[in-house]
Amino acid sequence: GQSLEQPSEVTAVEGAIVQINCTYQTSGFYGLSWYQQHDGGAPTFLSYNALDGLEETGRFSSFLSRSDSYGYLLLQELQMKDSASYFCAVRDRGWQAGTALIFGKGTTLSVSS
Amino acid sequence: DTAVSQTPKYLVTQMGNDKSIKCEQNLGHDTMYWYKQDSKKFLKIMFSYNNKELIINETVPNRFSPKSPDKAHLNLHINSLELGDSAVYFCASSPQGGGYTFGSGTRLTVV
């Protein structure tokens, strides 16, 4: 079966650094994505890793190790507005085969002052 | 300009009723999706359309019927609503292999 595991909750203080891990077991792998969702809002795209290594976008970075079926989202200089749910997602089939993202169950990040 | 818009935002209805949710995207994306998010925030794919053609139909009761009149629109019709259908339904679109843009969601409550 397909599964993505990520911690259910993480807490941190403003200004800190937090890492949200994601391990996946899928029949195929065509990239790991991260999405942010505030309460009552829609998921929004944060980052995408198709190849091993680190991708940096401002305060957020995402890492992938395909050999370990593992990735993480790193959030630096945390702000109160970063309090949200974070989802890792995997595309398990190539585009031609018809595909949709499989989402993890989400990690709720709470940032306190 | 809203990129992916879905209506209505809230829907409260009685068991047994039939309801529809509409979705439109102005991003020029080829692929559109319906996801269901349950009370535990789990996002599960229901359907995917590519250029009006159904390409993914997950294990969803046949009371749910998607319809895509053109590649910018994907609607969801639900017959004989049940209590367990209560959830937030998200429409999304993406370019081929690209990141998703989600609509704001429709919170469906069946009473």
> What are the tens digits of pLDDT across the range A4-56?
999 999 999 999 999 999 999 988 888 999 999 999 999 999 999 999 999 99
Q: Do B33 and A100 count as a contact with CB atoms less than 8 A apart?
A: yes
B 20-79 residues with CB < 8 A to A: 33, 35, 40-45, 48, 50, 55-56
Tokens 């053109």 -> residue = B70
- Provide the pLDDT for residue B74: 96
Peptide bond into B69 cis (omega under 30): no
Strands B106-110 and B64-70: unpaired
Report yes or no: A71 at the B interface, CB cutoff 8 Å: no
Q: Say whether residue A60 is in contact with chain B using an 8 A CB cutoff.
A: no
pLDDT band, very low/low/confident/very high, at B57 (cuts 50, 70, 90)? confident
**pLDDT of B33 over the 70 cut:** yes
Which residue has better confidence, B7 or A91? B7
State residue A95's pLDDT score. Answer: 60
CA of A4 vs chain B CAs: smallest distance (Å): 11
Q: Nearest C-alpha of chain B: how many angstroms from A82? A: 17
- CA–CA separation, A75 and A85 (whole Å): 13
Residues A46, A24: Cα–Cα separation, whole Å: 18
